[in-house]
């Protein structure tokens, strides 16, 4: 694309304010210019009238298992592309396909399928790289993860995974497991985000993990240790460590269900906006009606019941991912009292920084990828653009 697209009559959502009566110029997949007022059009320019609606960087979902009836563990091209297209309809322009604890064969198949899907993804949210969730997770904090495949990290196994794929960008691990610290250090040395998740770690173990290279916390509060008593002594858990360690970043499933309004407010008040990313942790039922679904692959997935907009295990003992979409996360944070610029920053600039891609994504600035979303005051998505190309319009 060599012509320019000018998005006019927009209210820009910046990190600290909104700026009405503005425009953004896109060329060759990048933001070329932003400004106020009218832009002088050339004959070859194309225009998109935002109608006074909000224009922000595209939403970045760093933890999603699927949506639209698809799970990335289905290991089909249809699943990858279908989930990406569903999330694009809700404002997501970039996402990290996330695995579940599974067999080694399923993981290796996912690595292969991801490469094909990335090449053929034309109409959905862009793929940032793979997020491995497991299989190195704590049994007591497994949530909806299949316990049959939980295990401790062994160098031969995780080195073979890393050798099999250069698309892994983050890995969620319980750091208290034998061998986990060595894996965290290895990931950190390779520029892969090592994240603490599904963990029974006490505070001291989280401190060790941070120094080994674990700098992020997967879905804070969900499947995570808190204050416990062991042989009469009280110990702070991973939740308390996430607050006390100022440089540790966290992600939250801000659907209003996993974390209700008071907890959303608590996280913002005591962790700080800059250290928080919003994620969906969505499973295949995102964007779908209530009913019965599978979490994980169609062949080996676990049954899940979605009722009243909440995904649960059939015995109702635990949530089973979420059915959230990115627009819902922004809306829920605003309902919790967070400003629009702060809510948007938590699903644009913050995840970009955490993933180390803030030089390309997450801001309305010249030279950045033209991943953009237009939405109204109800956070209803009007247009989604990936690298300057409109892939969804309401």
pLDDT greater than 60 at residue 1: no
Looking at residue 144, what is its pLDDT?
85
* Residue of 338, 326, 319, 248 whose CA lies nearest to 64: 326
- How far is 247 from 257, CA to CA, in rounded Å? 27
Looking at residue 319, what is its pLDDT?
87
- How far is 99 from 172, CA to CA, in rounded Å? 10
pLDDT greater than 70 at residue 162: yes
Looking at residue 317, what is its pLDDT?
85
Contacts of 40 (CB under 8 A, 6+ apart): none
Domains identified in the chain and CATH numbers = 4-55+368-393 (2.30.40.10), 59-355 (3.20.20.140)
Query: What tens digit of pLDDT does each residue of 67-94 get?
Result: 999 999 999 999 999 999 999 999 999 9
- Phi/psi of residue 12, each to 5°? -75, 135
Is the peptide bond preceding residue 268 cis, with omega within 30 degrees of 0? no
Cβ-contact 183, 136 below 8 angstroms: yes
Retrieve residue 5's tokens.
């697209």
Query: What tens digit of pLDDT does each residue of 244-263 get?
Result: 999 999 999 999 999 999 99
- How far is 368 from 358, CA to CA, in rounded Å? 9
The predicted model scores a pTM of 0.97
Q: Tokens 């939405």 appear where? A: 375
Give the pLDDT mean for 212-235: 96
Q: Are strands 126-127 and 92-97 parallel, antiparallel or unpaired?
A: parallel
Looking at residue 2, what is its pLDDT?
59
Give the pLDDT mean for 342-351: 98
Query: What tens digit of pLDDT does each residue of 8-65 get?
Result: 999 999 999 999 999 999 999 999 999 999 888 888 899 999 999 999 999 999 999 9
Helix (H, G, I), strand (E, B) or coil at 73: helix
Looking at residue 3, what is its pLDDT?
82
State what percent of residues in the chain have pLDDT above 90: 91
Looking at residue 335, what is its pLDDT?
98
Looking at residue 293, what is its pLDDT?
94
Looking at residue 171, what is its pLDDT?
98
What distances in angstroms separate CA 279 from CA 6, 15, 62, 250, 343, one per listed residue?
Answer: 30, 18, 6, 10, 12
- Give the bridge partners for 132, in sequence order: 171
- How far is 113 from 353, CA to CA, in rounded Å? 27
- How far is 372 from 235, CA to CA, in rounded Å? 45
- How far is 203 from 194, CA to CA, in rounded Å? 17
Query: What tens digit of pLDDT does each residue of 270-322 get?
Result: 999 999 999 999 999 999 999 999 988 888 888 999 998 899 889 988 888 89
Range with the lowest mean pLDDT among 29-33, 69-73, 141-145, 186-190?
141-145
């Amino acid at each position: 694309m060599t012509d320019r697209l000018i998005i006019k009559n927009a209210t820009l959502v910046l990190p600290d304010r909104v700026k009405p009566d503005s425009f953004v110029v896109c060329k060759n997949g990048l933001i070329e210019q932003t400004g106020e007022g009218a832009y002088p059009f050339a004959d070859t320019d194309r225009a998109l009238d935002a109608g006074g609606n909000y224009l922000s960087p595209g939403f970045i979902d760093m933890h999603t298992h699927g949506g639209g009836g698809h799970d990335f563990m289905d290991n089909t091209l249809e699943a990858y592309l279908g989930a990406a297209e569903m999330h694009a309809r809700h404002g997501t322009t970039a996402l990290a396909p996330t695995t579940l604890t599974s067999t080694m064969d399923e993981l290796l198949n996912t690595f292969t399928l991801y490469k094909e899907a990335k090449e053929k993804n034309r109409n959905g949210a862009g793929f940032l790289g793979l997020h491995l969730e497991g299989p190195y997770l704590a049994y007591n904090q497994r949530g909806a993860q299949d316990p049959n495949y939980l295990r401790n990290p062994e160098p031969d196994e995780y080195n073979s995974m890393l050798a099999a794929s250069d698309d892994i960008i983050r890995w969620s691990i319980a750091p208290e497991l034998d061998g986990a610290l060595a894996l965290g250090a290895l990931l950190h040395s390779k520029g892969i985000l090592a994240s603490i998740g599904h963990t029974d770690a006490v505070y001291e173990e989280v401190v060790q993990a941070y120094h080994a290279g674990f700098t992020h916390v997967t879905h804070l509060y969900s499947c995570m240790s808190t204050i416990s008593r062991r042989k009469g002594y009280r110990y702070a858990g991973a939740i308390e460590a996430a607050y006390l360690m100022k440089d540790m970043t966290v992600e939250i499933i801000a659907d209003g269900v996993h974390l209700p309004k008071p907890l959303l407010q608590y996280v913002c008040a005591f962790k700080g906006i800059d250290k928080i990313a919003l994620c969906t942790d969505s499973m295949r039922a995102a964007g779908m009606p209530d009913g019965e679904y599978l979490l994980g692959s169609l062949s080996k997935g676990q049954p899940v019941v979605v009722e009243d907009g909440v995904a649960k295990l059939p015995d109702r003992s635990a949530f089973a991912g979420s059915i959230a979409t990115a627009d819902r996360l922004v809306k829920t944070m605003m309902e919790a009292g967070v400003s629009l610029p702060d809510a948007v920053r938590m699903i644009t600039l913050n995840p970009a920084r955490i993933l180390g891609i803030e030089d390309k994504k997450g801001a309305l600035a010249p030279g950045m990828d033209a991943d953009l979303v237009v939405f109204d005051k109800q956070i209803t998505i009007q247009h989604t653009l990936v690298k300057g190309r409109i892939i969804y319009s309401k």
